[in-house]
Amino acid sequence: MTADTTASTRRWTLDEVHALCDRYRTWGKWGPDDELGTLNYLTPEMVANAATLVRQGKVISCALPYDGNGPQNGWGGRVNPLHFMLQDGGDATIGAQEHMARLRYADDAIYMPLQCGTQWDALSHVFYDGKMYNGYGQEHVSSTGADKCAIHLATEKVVGRGVLLDIPRFRGVPWLEPGDGIGSDELAACAEKQGVTVGRGDFVLVRTGHIAKCRAEGAWGDYAAGDAPGLNLDSTHWICGNEIAGVATDTWGMEVRPNELEEIFQPVHIVLLVNVGLLIGEIFDLEKLADDCAEDGVYEFMFVAGPLPFTKAVGSPLNPLAIK
C-alpha cells in the first residue's frame, strides 16, 4: 500500500495547481465578510459531541516547549523565544526588593516570533495574487497588523473533535523522510486502518515523525524552513472532500518539501490557506499523543486548541490539548 500512496507525490504544473485552487475555493461560501473559513463547519453540536469523547480523563499537550532549544535558526527573522527575568530570586536575595513589604517575587517576559513553535497560521498569513482568503487584499496586513482574518478571531473557535493520523505507524517506519509526501489515499487508508472516521468539522493531526527524527538525531538540523515530509497537493482532495475544520502537522510547514513545483513556494498553503480558508497548524509535537493512541487504540479525542487573542496577529502560539 505504501508504494501506491506515496506515489501521489509528483510534479505539478502551475495550471494544475490553479485548477485545484479553483475547484476548492470557498470564497463567498460563508458570505462576503467571512474571516473564519472552514472553522464555520464547526457547530455547537459538534462541540458537545466532542466532549463525549472524554472517557479516561487523559490530557495530552501537543505543544513543543517554547524556549531557546526550539527549532528556529533565524530564517526570515524567526528566532527561538528569548526569555527575560524582570525580577528573580537573586533580586530577592541581594535586597533589591526591600521596597516591598516582606513579599518577594519573580516576574518574566518573552520575545518570540508568533510562529517560532507550535502555532496556528491565521488566514492572513499567506497571500496569492495579492489576496488572502475570501478575496481580501494583502493591503489589509500592514505593520500594525491584520485588519482582516487575524488569528484573534479564532479564540473561541477551536474546540471540537480531533483525530490523529499516525502515518509512520501506518507505514511501519519510525518517521517519514524529507520529501515523503502524504496524499489522499494514504490519509484515507490510515484512518481506516486506525478504525477512525473523519468528517465535517473535525481537526486532523497528521504525524510525520519529523520531530521524532530530530530527537533521535539529537539536533534540529534544517527542520525549520528546510526539506520535510508532509501533505502533498493530492491530499487536498481528501481534506476538502471531508470538510474538516483544521489540520496540523509536526513539521515546520505542514506540506511536503521540496515542493511539487518550482513555480510556487509552498503550494499546498496556496490551496488550503488562501483558497479553502483552512486553519493550519505547524510544529505540533504529536509524539506523546501518538504513543498514547497506539497504546489504547483510540485515535479520536476532544481537541481544545484555541489560539491566544493576539489582536491583529497573523499567527499564534498555543497549548493544543487532546483530551481523551
Kindly identify the residues of this chain, within the stretch 56-75, that bind a copy of itself according to CB under 8 A.
56-61, 63-69, 74
Give dist(CA 242, CA 238) in Å, integer.
6
CB of 275 to a copy of itself, least distance (A): 13
Nearer to a copy of itself, 177 or 262 (CB): 262
| One residue of 1, 7, 85, 216 binding a copy of itself per CB under 8 A | 85
Q: Are 26 and 32 in contact (CB under 8 A)?
A: no
Per-residue contact flags (x/-) with a copy of itself for residues 1 to 40, judged by CB under 8 A: ----------------------------------------
Q: Is 252 in the site for a copy of itself (CB under 8 A)?
A: no
Q: How far apart are CA 234 and CA 15, in angstroms?
A: 15
For residue 128 the three cell numbers come to 496569492
Q: What is the DSSP letter of 283?
A: S
In 3D space, the residue among 248, 218, 185, 269 whose CA is nearest the CA of residue 9 turns out to be: 185
For the chain, what is the radius of gyration of the CA atoms?
20
Q: 221 and 175 in contact (C-beta within 8 Å)?
A: no
What residue type is 138 in one-letter code? Q
The reply on whether position 84 binds a copy of itself by CB under 8 A is: yes
- Say whether residue 295 binds a copy of itself (CB under 8 A): no
Residue closer to a copy of itself, measured from CB, 85 or 219: 85
> Which of the 8 DSSP states describes residue 131?
B
Tell me the three state secondary structure of residue 270: helix
Footprint (CB under 8 A) of a copy of itself, residues 91-130: 91-96, 100-116, 124-128, 130
Contact string 153-182 vs a copy of itself (x = CB under 8 A): --xxx-x-----------------------
Q: Determine contact, residues 133/273, Cβ cutoff 8 Å.
A: yes
Query: Which residue lies nearer to a copy of itself by CB, 168 or 181?
Result: 181
Stretch of 24-32, 77-85, 165-173, 240-248 contacting a copy of itself, by CB under 8 A:
77-85
| Interface with a copy of itself, residue 198, by CB under 8 A | no
Instruction: Name the amino acid, one letter, at 33.
Output: D
